[in-house]
Structure 1
Amino acid sequence: MCGITGWVSFDRDLTTEHRALDAMTETMACRGPDDRGTWSEGPAALGHRRLAIIDLPGGRQPMTVRTPGGTVAMVYSGEAYNFTELRRELTARGHEFTTDSDTEVVLRGYVEWGDTVAERLNGMYAFAVWDGRHDKLVMIRDRMGIKPFYLYPTPDGVLFGSEPKAILANPLVRPRVGLDGLRELFTMVKTPGHAVWEGMREVAPGTVVTVDRDGLRTRTYWRLETRPHPDDRDTTVATVRDLLDDIVRRQLVADVPRCTLLSGGLDSSAMTALAARQLAEQGEKVRSFAVDFVGRTDNFVADELRSTPDTPFVHDVARLARTDHQDIVLDVASLADPAVRERVIRARDLPAGFGDMDTSLLLLFRAVRDQSTVALSGESADEVFGGYLQFFDEGARSADTFPWLFQFARHFGDDAGVLRSDLAKALDLEHYVADSYHSAVTEIQRLAGESDFEFRMRRMSYLHLTRFVRALLDRKDRMSMAVGLEVRVPFCDHRLVEYVYNAPWALKSFDGREKTLLREATRDVLPQSVYDRVKSPYPSTQDPDYGRALQDQVKDLLARPGHRVFDLVDREKADRAAHRTEMSTQADRRGLERTLDLAHWLDLYAPELTLA
């Protein structure tokens, strides 16, 4: 897994810049608690923090290979699940390995194939290679954007890192955010390449970025493409199952304790059950963990989003799959703890706006990390198989905007409702979203002869897989790596994504229910209760004491009239929210959580804001 960072400056000798490189590297300490390393040569400097997963003694980084033309050095974050096959191929081509790590396979793969090694990898990864043979830096990110990767062009090179904080630690960079950055913060659109911080951008998923003395160039090596789907229903279901069996088997490989994250929904239950069956063949049991809240099951109140509590379904799966299961039960004091909120903001570098669903995820991961280093998650199955409410809502299907925004407005209100009116006017979020949406839909290829309805559903799938899922993957990565936990996402395997994306909606939902293909492909390992269960999103506390705790914290903030948060937030709106008598739903709490997130972010990062 790990955290990577680096600096290329063609006009200076970076071997003298140890202090700056060390500062950048240490920002990644949470991502890599097991080891650290730096390397520099001429215009290039690389830093690495390691979370040891495979070949614990042999995978140290930065890793180098000496060639007749010069040194090739790499820093790497992630996992290549097909490294064993690639190692055999490279060995046959004459490469000699000194470690058992996937890192060395990727490095020697680059030496052999150059940046086309990206097309050969199956996994989640972000890595940078300094190629001393040609004096160039090559940066590569995985197809789905599972692992984060940021860059900051400079007049004579580039800075990069797994997270913005690594780049912000360099003295060349000032923490600035303008209107476009704020627009991205207050719209759930996840524009590809956008990083919020001025001058910074993401390495887009599925791309190779090369930096040399002639400048910066980008090549796309993978995109979600439209293709005919010739398979019938039975063949499609069987193919999905075959892919899942192979994916889970690959992603269980680790030299450290593994587990699964189990919510009692279809996605995590299927993944846990498949993992349990495979490990049982080796005489092992799966550890599983679930998040819960004090009193939630006994006091659960159904709403439009969640009709049932998770815990009974979690326990059904744990019994059937015979997992070694543990519920992580959180109380209001932990969820509302300002220190936990601060850690969330530090992990994400931004006030991302997921509220208690961020804090609970961080607390869950922290508890899991005490017992395991690798966890498999059901994340992204809803995007791949079509599980969200909006896939079945005619209004969302036909809306001329991102379909999840249609649902969010209904259930959570206006995400930017806390803002000062003058700032809201300057941001003009409606037009920003509209421009982003129309830019996104121009990328979608229509299959010859595809009906209008099928194309609408393809459009919904494409938008979720190239925009919405990336926000959730970033959340998952930041919360897990903040505590040194590697979370793997089997449903993001690009082979599965490509195959299911091109299956027509009539196959994805042939019984009229959500995620029918996944349900049918795994029905033999699921308890009947889970097979029949309706989609329920990631849980959120229903305890009214949580809302009251937020109100008290905002009242404390209001008592500090000079706080910078009121350059952004409307004080009167914050005051009204802090004194409301009813404060139980997510929609009720959303403005309070946004206000507190912004306040912590301003305190921690002191960004220079350009509001005009």
Structure 2
Amino acid sequence: MCGITGWVSFERDLREERPTVETMTMTMARRGPDDEGIWVTEHAALGHRRLAIIDLPGGRQPMSVRTPDGDVTLVYSGETYNFPELRNELLRRGHVLRTTSDTEVVLHGYLEWGEAVAEHLNGMFAFAIWDGRHNKLVMIRDRMGVKPLFYYPTPDGVLFGSEPKAILANPLAETAVGLDGLRELFAFVRTPGLAIWKGMREVEPGTVIRVDRNGLRIDRYWSLRTAPHLDDRETSVAHVRDLLDDIVRRQLVADVPRCVLLSGGLDSSALTAIAAGQLSGTGETLRSFAVDFAGQAENFVATALRATPDTPYVHDVAKQSGTDHEDIVLDSAALADPETRANIIRARDTPMGLGDMDASLYLLFSAIRRHSTVALSGESADEVFGGYQQFFSPKVQQADTFPWLASLTGESPRRTFLNQEFGRALDLGRYIQDSYDAAVATIERLDGESDFEYRMRRISHLYLTRFVRVLLDRKDRTSMAVGLEVRVPFCDHRLVEYVYNAPWALKTYDGREKSLLRGATADVLPQSVVERTKSPYPSTQDPAYATTLRNSARDVLADAANPVFDIIDREGLRRAVEADTPQAMPLARRAIERALDLSLWLDIYRPTITTS
């Protein structure tokens, strides 16, 4: 796992721009604390920061192959889980491979198959290749968008990087945010290809981008397609289990310490049980980590979202699976620490956070990194198998908007949070509707599919192509900020394609959420977990956390010149600080957290905000 960056310019000699490329590369030092590499030729410059996972001495980058017609050079971030098979195939085809790294396999795969190499890869990846034979740059991103990659077209080429900060370190890139970027900050719709920063774009998942003297061209090599599901329930459950066994086995491969993130929910518990069983066969004990909060047992109050605390279920799984388990217990002071908030904003380059849930994730990853370099996560199982409450709400099922927004009652807090002038300029209601209409227009309907099944297909598609990318970006950027690689087995495209096309009646055959996953893994799970209802990522209920937030917000309110009030409503923030009823406090807390994020982001990045 690594950070990549680069600059292609057909009108200047980049050999004279090495210091700028070094600066771009250094911005991602936390993504790659183990090594740094720079490669520069006349019209292309590539930078790489490495987090060594496989073939520690042999996987250095940028990695080049010299051909009679020019060098072909790669910078690569991610993991290719089927690289052993591809390596053997390339050897049979006559390639000479000098390392056991997946990086070299990807590079020689490009030499063998060209841009079609993407179709051969199973994994999470984002990489760029300068092909000196044709003087072109090729950028490729994995199917689900697990690994990030951004680019910034220039008059004579392009800048690119794993994170916006690498691009913004180049003087050619403007640190500005326009209307659409601002809308993305508040609409929560994640438009494919759109970055927050003006002039910057995101390499869309499942696409190939090539840049040469003729300009920039984008081609799609994968998308989530509709297909008939012909397997019965028993066959479907068995196939899901077979896939999970294979996926976990592949994703446990690493030359560094590994672990699992365990929440006590069905998703992470299933991965933990399968991984522990596989490692026990080789005499290895799996490490597992869970997040908890000081005083959580005393302060926990059941809600419609979180009916039960995680810890008892975590311990049931750890005991049955025989893991070497540790609870990472966080206190409110650490969660509310402004430096923690600043680290998260720097990691993500935007204030699109989730308050204490972001802080706890960052602190959890920081603690895990002292023991492990690779962690398996249950992220995206809810999107794949249908785990959210919204899937089961008649109101949401019939709504013509994004399902995670359809359940909101009244005016969205994200909109009332804005000051009136700013809110009118954004026109979020129209933006969300246009985005939704564009998203559902691409969803294919199966011949003979009922109206209800098609509705459920649309909801699943939206979660898998829009919502999940918010969560994947959050997890990648937060984990890589501390040099931890988080792998997401439920994003394996084979599993996604198979379950997506299973009819909703099959996904809920036992009358509950995630029936296929429960049926496929019940034999290795404690009964308590099998019967547990869905509970989202935990949030602290310690009153001390809310008190600290209010005090920080009062400091913001005391600064009459704070630019955050060009965006948010000052009186709205004041009301949030003074909220004292149980009904108002959850919304007030979210508003305060968002205001603090925005204020700090404006102070750190000092972006030019344009609403015209």
TM bin (shorter chain): over 0.9
Tell me if 1:208 matches 2:220: no
| Residue identity opposite 1:43 in structure 2 | H
1:542 and 1:585 in contact (8 A); partners too: no
**CA distance in structure 1 between the aligned counterparts of 2:127 and 2:293, rounded to whole angstroms:** 38
Equivalent residue of 1:297, what SS? helix
Matches within 5 A, 1:348-427: 348-407=348-407, 409-410=408-409, 414-427=413-426
Matches within 5 A, 1:169-208: 169-208=169-208
Matches within 5 A, 1:27-426: 27-407=27-407, 409-410=408-409, 414-426=413-425
**CA distance in structure 2 between the aligned counterparts of 1:313 and 1:148, rounded to whole angstroms:** 33
Please state how far the C-alpha of 1:569 moved relative to its aligned partner: 1.4
Tell me if 1:560 matches 2:564: no
Q: Sort the Cα spacing of 1:411 and 1:355 in 2 relative to 1 into closer, same or farther, 3 A.
A: farther
Normalising by the residue count of structure 1, what TM-score does the alignment of the two structures yield? 0.99
| Residue identity opposite 1:345 in structure 2 | I
**CA distance in structure 2 between the aligned counterparts of 1:579 and 1:556, rounded to whole angstroms:** 14
Matches within 5 A, 1:513-552: 513-552=512-551
Percent identity between the two aligned chains = 68
Please state how far the C-alpha of 1:582 moved relative to its aligned partner: 4.3
**CA distance in structure 2 between the aligned counterparts of 1:235 and 1:569, rounded to whole angstroms:** 53
Please state how far the C-alpha of 1:545 moved relative to its aligned partner: 1.5
**CA distance in structure 2 between the aligned counterparts of 1:528 and 1:559, rounded to whole angstroms:** 53
RMSD (CA atoms): 1.1
Deviation per CA, 1:270-322: give whole Å up to 9, x if none.
00000000000000111000001111123310011000000000000000000
Identify the residue that residue 466 of structure 1 maps to in structure 2: 465
**CA distance in structure 1 between the aligned counterparts of 2:258 and 2:46, rounded to whole angstroms:** 30
Q: Sort the Cα spacing of 1:580 and 1:203 in 2 relative to 1 into closer, same or farther, 3 A.
A: same
**CA distance in structure 2 between the aligned counterparts of 1:55 and 1:153, rounded to whole angstroms:** 34
Equivalent residue of 2:209, what SS? strand
**CA distance in structure 2 between the aligned counterparts of 1:297 and 1:600, rounded to whole angstroms:** 32
1:110 and 1:117 in contact (8 A); partners too: yes
**CA distance in structure 1 between the aligned counterparts of 2:104 and 2:36, rounded to whole angstroms:** 17
**CA distance in structure 1 between the aligned counterparts of 2:435 and 2:355, rounded to whole angstroms:** 24
**CA distance in structure 2 between the aligned counterparts of 1:447 and 1:410, rounded to whole angstroms:** 32
| Residue identity opposite 1:372 in structure 2 | S
**CA distance in structure 2 between the aligned counterparts of 1:544 and 1:611, rounded to whole angstroms:** 38
Normalising by the residue count of structure 2, what TM-score does the alignment of the two structures yield? 0.99
Q: What are structure 1's unaligned runs of at least 5 residues?
A: none
**CA distance in structure 2 between the aligned counterparts of 1:588 and 1:263, rounded to whole angstroms:** 27
Identify the residue that residue 580 of structure 1 maps to in structure 2: 579
1:540 and 1:586 in contact (8 A); partners too: no
| Residue identity opposite 1:414 in structure 2 | P
**CA distance in structure 1 between the aligned counterparts of 2:309 and 2:575, rounded to whole angstroms:** 31
Equivalent residue of 1:277, what SS? helix
* Aligned residue pairs, count: 611
1:9 and 1:43 in contact (8 A); partners too: yes
2:579 and 2:585 in contact (8 A); partners too: no
1:285 and 1:323 in contact (8 A); partners too: yes
Q: Sort the Cα spacing of 1:411 and 1:325 in 2 relative to 1 into closer, same or farther, 3 A.
A: farther
Please state how far the C-alpha of 1:58 moved relative to its aligned partner: 0.6
Please state how far the C-alpha of 1:342 moved relative to its aligned partner: 0.3
Identify the residue that residue 479 of structure 1 maps to in structure 2: 478
Please state how far the C-alpha of 1:416 moved relative to its aligned partner: 2.9
Deviation per CA, 1:19-60: give whole Å up to 9, x if none.
110110000100000000000111000000000000001100
Identify the residue that residue 512 of structure 1 maps to in structure 2: 511
| Residue identity opposite 2:391 in structure 1 | F
Deviation per CA, 1:462-488: give whole Å up to 9, x if none.
000000000000000010000000000
Identify the residue that residue 591 of structure 2 maps to in structure 1: 591
1:412 and 1:586 in contact (8 A); partners too: no
2:286 and 2:324 in contact (8 A); partners too: yes
Please state how far the C-alpha of 1:170 moved relative to its aligned partner: 0.2
Equivalent residue of 1:529, what SS? helix
Matches within 5 A, 1:427-466: 427-466=426-465
**CA distance in structure 2 between the aligned counterparts of 1:18 and 1:481, rounded to whole angstroms:** 25
Worse-matched range after superposition: 218-227 or 583-592: 583-592
**CA distance in structure 1 between the aligned counterparts of 2:524 and 2:587, rounded to whole angstroms:** 36
Q: Sort the Cα spacing of 1:411 and 1:50 in 2 relative to 1 into closer, same or farther, 3 A.
A: farther
**CA distance in structure 2 between the aligned counterparts of 1:519 and 1:240, rounded to whole angstroms:** 10
1:417 and 1:591 in contact (8 A); partners too: no
2:240 and 2:495 in contact (8 A); partners too: yes
1:390 and 1:396 in contact (8 A); partners too: yes
Equivalent residue of 2:547, what SS? helix
Please state how far the C-alpha of 1:144 moved relative to its aligned partner: 0.0
1:399 and 1:406 in contact (8 A); partners too: yes
Equivalent residue of 1:148, what SS? coil
| Residue identity opposite 2:443 in structure 1 | I
**CA distance in structure 2 between the aligned counterparts of 1:306 and 1:88, rounded to whole angstroms:** 48
**CA distance in structure 2 between the aligned counterparts of 1:472 and 1:464, rounded to whole angstroms:** 10
Please state how far the C-alpha of 1:411 moved relative to its aligned partner: 11
1:128 and 1:139 in contact (8 A); partners too: yes
Please state how far the C-alpha of 1:558 moved relative to its aligned partner: 1.2
1:418 and 1:594 in contact (8 A); partners too: no
Deviation per CA, 1:53-88: give whole Å up to 9, x if none.
000011000000001110000100000000000000
Q: Sort the Cα spacing of 1:412 and 1:145 in 2 relative to 1 into closer, same or farther, 3 A.
A: farther
**CA distance in structure 2 between the aligned counterparts of 1:588 and 1:308, rounded to whole angstroms:** 23
**CA distance in structure 2 between the aligned counterparts of 1:172 and 1:292, rounded to whole angstroms:** 44
2:266 and 2:529 in contact (8 A); partners too: yes
2:266 and 2:518 in contact (8 A); partners too: yes
| Residue identity opposite 1:369 in structure 2 | R
| Residue identity opposite 2:158 in structure 1 | V
2:413 and 2:587 in contact (8 A); partners too: no
| Residue identity opposite 1:513 in structure 2 | R
